[in-house]
Chains A and B, each alone.
Chain A
Amino acid sequence: MNRVLQAARLHLFNPLVMLGVPWLVVGISFAINVVIWHLTPAGEDDGGFTGGVLALYFTVLVMFVQSVTQLLPFAMGISISRRTFYLGTALVVVVQSLLYGVAIAVLVAIENGTGGWGAGMSYWAPGPFEVDNFFLQILASGVPMMAFAFAGVGSGIVHKRWGQAGTWWLIIVSMLVFGGLAILVTWLGAWADIASWFADQSIVTLTVGIPAVVALLSALVAYPGIRRVVP
């Protein structure tokens, strides 16, 4: 077996944890939402919006943080190079995101076929993430997943490379950067311009293009970090 495939295979030694936990979490979130939407008139009020599916995306992010922090020291212990581990992990991210995209697209189709689970709920592809084409839906749901997963891989690498202190710095620096941007935009009075810029973008750019750029950037930024990790 190819070395990269072997590294990818390491991620799937315990598929119940790797694949089961995110779906268990989002399944519970989904069940809670269905019950609430049947008990309340939520579906009639605000166009059926719920962000519950984000639970899946964030759980996947956390799973990939752990994949790196747990598997990398072991992978290096059995003589897999950092680069090979990284490529294997990236392969898992891409394939898994697309498969999750397919699963979500199927769930969206069921959702639309059942009148939003009988409650007018738009759970699996809320707001702009719902597109009217099954194959496009795979990308619209799967590519953002890829961005979350690579963000998780990157955070895991920061943790392995620079330790707990590195993780705190990552959080602090991100807050400063995004907080600073928010102040800058407010000071320039540019929120309306930004909103209209987003409104001008096509659904595909928003749901596939921008997440793809985020995923690619995370992947590229994370790679140099892993090169000097000592297990």
Chain B
Amino acid sequence: MTTGTNPTATVRDVTMRFREHTALDSVTTSFEKDAITGLLGRNGAGKTTLMQLLTGHRVPSAGRVEVFGASPYENDRILRDICFVKEGQRYPEQFRVQDALAAAAMVFPHWDDDLAADLLTDFDLPAKRPVRKLSRGMNSMVGIIIGLASRAPLTLFDEPYLGLDAVARQQFYDRLLADYAEHPRTIVLSTHLIEEIASLLERVLLIDRGRVLLDTDAESLRDSALTVSGPVDKVQAFARQHELLHTESLGGHSRAVVRVGGAADRRAAATHGLTVEPTNLQQLVVAMSLQSPATRGPVRSPLRAAPSEDLEEVS
């Protein structure tokens, strides 16, 4: 696939201030072309704000946002290639499902009618029912159909499946992956159901309190952390040599999420007599988000200060 040299979207030193708080604080990142990026973070971390900036729905207080090489704000030439599916999208009162789809078909140049019809059948959506009379989950399905069938070169899903059941979510992931394989495009997916989408992601962008915590490819991220468990003192000793992200202890037994350098560290953990498991993305994100900002230190190496006292406190 393409490298990061020609990204679909770039965000340079972007700050977004609202009257009472700063939603984004000097964020710099880019979204790789034809990749699926997971935009992760807690509630209020700034995910939606970042997506609103990428789609020209907001203008940054400072910094520059570029999509396809130009600012998206009020730029129809850029906007027609962007599809932004968001939680709680409002539809006009009298619009039926088929009206919403017809409107989307009219404005998105890469729209695929067959795909939309397929999805409509898959999701078992009543085309002639007004959107406002749909249940929460069915309402989300309309957005998902628009997002997928638009085949927009930049497609953003912001918490797209409020109220969707597990089956429909799986259908969404399967369809997304299948269509993405045939028609590669840049996809940004924000969600709290991290484990469900972990296997889809090629890139991970983790933000917290308006700052970038992690901006990396999913593969190396998976290799960058370990969950080790064993006797407290041994876990503690191992953790001291690395970056401790999170730990929990029960009796004399302890379990810790640790950032590591690579396979050598993995072997070292095993020789310490510790049980080693891979850390899944969700654990890693939770662990990183739970670190207090004070212990994070500089952004480049956010987890340097290993709080070894934590181990003693909890045990």
Ordered by A's residue number, 12 sampled pairs between the chains whose C-beta atoms are within 8 Å are A3-B76, A9-B106, A14-B92, A17-B94, A74-B92, A74-B100, A78-B83, A78-B103, A80-B107, A81-B74, A82-B74, A230-B57
> What 10 A-B pairs come out closest when comparing CB atoms?
A70-B92, A14-B94, A79-B79, A73-B90, A81-B74, A77-B89, A13-B99, A78-B107, A81-B76, A3-B76
**For the complex, is B104 an interface residue (Cβ under 8 Å from A)?**
yes
- B107 and A79 contact, CB distance less than 8 A: yes
- A77 and B106 contact, CB distance less than 8 A: no
- B90 and A231 contact, CB distance less than 8 A: yes
- B57 and A10 contact, CB distance less than 8 A: no
**For the complex, is B204 an interface residue (Cβ under 8 Å from A)?**
no
- A227 and B106 contact, CB distance less than 8 A: no
Within 8 A of B (CB), among A104-143: none
The distance from the CB of A15 to the nearest CB of chain B, in whole angstroms, is 10
- A78 and B146 contact, CB distance less than 8 A: yes
Measured between alpha carbons, how far is A210 from B99 in the docked complex, in Å? 38
The distance from the CB of B20 to the nearest CB of chain A, in whole angstroms, is 16
- A6 and B107 contact, CB distance less than 8 A: yes
**For the complex, is A29 an interface residue (Cβ under 8 Å from B)?**
no
One of A17, A77, A230 near B90 (C-beta < 8 A): A77
Measured between alpha carbons, how far is A6 from B76 in the docked complex, in Å? 12
Q: Which residue of A lies closest to B90 (CB)?
A: A73
Interface string of B40-83 (1 = CB under 8 A from A): 00000000000010011111000000000000001110011011
Measured between alpha carbons, how far is A9 from B106 in the docked complex, in Å? 9
**For the complex, is A192 an interface residue (Cβ under 8 Å from B)?**
no
One of B76, B82, B90 near A84 (C-beta < 8 A): B76
Find chain B residues with CB under 8 A from A6 CB.
106-107
Measured between alpha carbons, how far is A81 from B84 in the docked complex, in Å? 13
Interface size class of A (residues with CB under 8 A): 20 to 34
**Contacts known (A74-B91, A230-B57); A81 close to B75, Cβ less than 8 A:** yes
Interface string of A59-83 (1 = CB under 8 A from B): 0000000100011011011111111
- A71 and B74 contact, CB distance less than 8 A: no
**For the complex, is A1 an interface residue (Cβ under 8 Å from B)?**
yes
The interface centre, meaning the residue of A13, A17, A66, A228 with most chain B CB atoms within 10 A of its CB, is A13
Measured between alpha carbons, how far is A78 from B76 in the docked complex, in Å? 11
Measured between alpha carbons, how far is A79 from B80 in the docked complex, in Å? 6
Measured between alpha carbons, how far is A175 from B173 in the docked complex, in Å? 55
**For the complex, is B102 an interface residue (Cβ under 8 Å from A)?**
yes
**For the complex, is B93 an interface residue (Cβ under 8 Å from A)?**
yes
Measured between alpha carbons, how far is A113 from B46 in the docked complex, in Å? 67
The distance from the CB of A148 to the nearest CB of chain B, in whole angstroms, is 21
Measured between alpha carbons, how far is A157 from B56 in the docked complex, in Å? 18
Q: Which residue of A lies closest to B100 (CB)?
A: A74
**For the complex, is B151 an interface residue (Cβ under 8 Å from A)?**
no
- A71 and B107 contact, CB distance less than 8 A: no
- B107 and A230 contact, CB distance less than 8 A: no
Interface string of A79-105 (1 = CB under 8 A from B): 111111000000000000000000000
Measured between alpha carbons, how far is A170 from B99 in the docked complex, in Å? 33
- B74 and A230 contact, CB distance less than 8 A: no
The distance from the CB of B93 to the nearest CB of chain A, in whole angstroms, is 6
**For the complex, is B95 an interface residue (Cβ under 8 Å from A)?**
yes
**For the complex, is B86 an interface residue (Cβ under 8 Å from A)?**
yes
Q: Which residue of A lies closest to B99 (CB)?
A: A13
**For the complex, is B238 an interface residue (Cβ under 8 Å from A)?**
no
Q: Which residue of B lies closest to A83 (CB)?
A: B74
Measured between alpha carbons, how far is A192 from B104 in the docked complex, in Å? 57
Find chain A residues with CB under 8 A from B89 CB.
73-74, 77
Interface string of A213-231 (1 = CB under 8 A from B): 0000000000000011011
- B106 and A79 contact, CB distance less than 8 A: no
Measured between alpha carbons, how far is A207 from B46 in the docked complex, in Å? 52
**Contacts known (A17-B94, A74-B95, A78-B104); A231 close to B57, Cβ less than 8 A:** yes
- A1 and B106 contact, CB distance less than 8 A: yes
**For the complex, is B108 an interface residue (Cβ under 8 Å from A)?**
yes
- B82 and A79 contact, CB distance less than 8 A: yes
Q: Which residue of B lies closest to A76 (CB)?
A: B57
Q: Which residue of A lies closest to B105 (CB)?
A: A78
Q: Which residue of B lies closest to A71 (CB)?
A: B92
Measured between alpha carbons, how far is A70 from B99 in the docked complex, in Å? 14
The distance from the CB of A36 to the nearest CB of chain B, in whole angstroms, is 33
Find chain A residues with CB under 8 A from B55 CB.
79
- A79 and B94 contact, CB distance less than 8 A: no
The distance from the CB of B42 to the nearest CB of chain A, in whole angstroms, is 22
- A13 and B56 contact, CB distance less than 8 A: no
Find chain B residues with CB under 8 A from A80 CB.
76, 79, 107
Measured between alpha carbons, how far is A228 from B58 in the docked complex, in Å? 7
The distance from the CB of A72 to the nearest CB of chain B, in whole angstroms, is 9
